[in-house]
Amino acid sequence: MNHTDTGYTEASIREIVEAQRRFFRTGTTLPVRWRKQQLKRLKAAVLAHETEFEEALAADLGRSPLEAYLCDIGPIITEVNEMLSGLRRWARPERHFSGLMCFPSTLTKVYKMPYGVSLVISPFNFPILLTIGVVAAAMAGGNTVVVKSSSKSAACTAALKRFFAEVFPPEYVTLIDGGHDVADMCLAQRFDKIFYTGSPAVGKHVLAEAAKNLTPVALELGGEAGNWCVIRADADLKDAARKIAFFKLTNAGQICININQIAVAEEVAGAFLEELKRAFIAQIGEHAEDNPEYPKLITEAAYDKCAKLADEYRGRIVFGGTGNRTERKYAPTIIYPVDRNEPIVQHELFCPLLPVVPFPDAEVDRMMETIADREHPLAMYLFTRDLKWANRTMQTMQYGGGCINEVCIHMMVKGVPFNGTGHSGMGAYHGEWGFREFTHPQTVLTGRTFLNLPLREHPYGGEAGKKKMWLLRLFER
């Protein structure tokens, strides 16, 4: 029997899952009223633990209280509020007319049934939001939840473990901590739904393990080739630079929808770079690594990886390129010029490095073809005054979501889905889309015991068959 440093074994994890399955089968989680009570309890507990979560985010990621609330805590409250206001409507069975082919049945319903026992594997970069936010969606759907949180964000994982133990019984929601070995023990169990947030490489592993039990999976991934921001020659450069600088500073670039690389029209590249430098300095100072508000990279290994890659491009760094390993802070770093086919723009960076690729504005469609040829990104950002081109491009590219003349806030809009496609994910959540992700639509037709025609019954030949064929063709019109 495998053991871990946290004390978990395959047998102990199996018992957790089985206890949740027994609880689910009691039907306790099914009534919408009960689910709303639990969501209200979750919301109240998040507000009560706000300071503790802020301190944990500071310990793991160097977040300031404002950034912690802006990026992790506030969005949870918004998300739960949307669930509380919409859940009864979302969960209501759909009523459909059965159709003439099903006569004498007239009524068919579609019930939104929870999957059952769900596994939520959450990441280190937004450890509070991307744990509690997904758990809330699972709860809204009527599921029980086992959480496997990241071992990299140790302070947040410890805070979350205390949080869930205080708020909910373990047969309803419980958190399991530990490393990859514990995650694999969880994946070895038969869950009814798995939701994983993280890298494409681990996403493939999760999908392979889930396939052994044919467990439905939602994956929220960063994207194999990273997210592009394209700046046309007619863009408002100052506005674009201000928004991009804010976004790249947030969580030190450790965001799945962050800008991985910029493609800028070469006609305005110099002017844009100057605006971007000014925007960074205005928001964080000339040495971001010395600013207490600037977040840090999650581990020393992450810092070393970032610094090593920056050193490889040292001759092309036009801003930044400095860091403080003790504090795990590396300054936002602009690398220019970079060719569109260089390795640094063909994989997700997940750090403050920002390679910039120049292209002739007249060849923008060729630049978009280069992006389209790579794995689908989680996000796409376009800056231009040519909204006709921008809208056409957004409607013909494949990516998770994005913005025109803006960054990141598409994921804060109520009522819309969030996730990627292909190497950037599968499935979707937020609001009603999260409820849908954690429920299975079940179609139920109610038959009748009178006026049943022998239309579907033998014989199919002779005069009887001809009459039945005539009726079938009539009903199918």
Count other C-beta atoms under 10 Å from residue 380's C-beta: 24
Active site (annotated) includes residue 256:
yes
Tokens of 354: 């920002």
Catalytic residue among 256, 306, 351, 403: 256
Residues linked to residue 304 through DSSP beta bridges, in sequence order: none
Distances (CA, A) of 282 to 42, 240, 278, 279, 329: 38, 14, 6, 5, 18
What's 28's DSSP letter? T
Active site (annotated) includes residue 351:
no
Tokens of 350: 């997940």
Dihedral, CA of residue 422, residue 425, residue 426 and residue 432, to nearest 10: -140
Catalytic residue among 67, 79, 220, 224: 220
Tokens of 447: 């038959």
Q: How far apart, in Å, do the first and last CA atoms of the chain sit? A: 62
The answer to whether 192 and 116 are in contact (CB under 8 A) is yes
The answer to whether 159 and 56 are in contact (CB under 8 A) is yes
The answer to whether 422 and 411 are in contact (CB under 8 A) is no
The answer to whether 83 and 136 are in contact (CB under 8 A) is yes
Question: Strands 227-231 and 439-446, how do they pair?
Answer: unpaired
Distances (CA, A) of 115 to 6, 21, 93, 245, 438: 29, 11, 16, 41, 6
φ/ψ of residue 442, rounded to 5: -110, 120
Distance CA 65, CA 384 (A): 34
- Which three-class secondary structure state does DSSP give residue 198? strand
Residues involved in catalysis = 220, 256
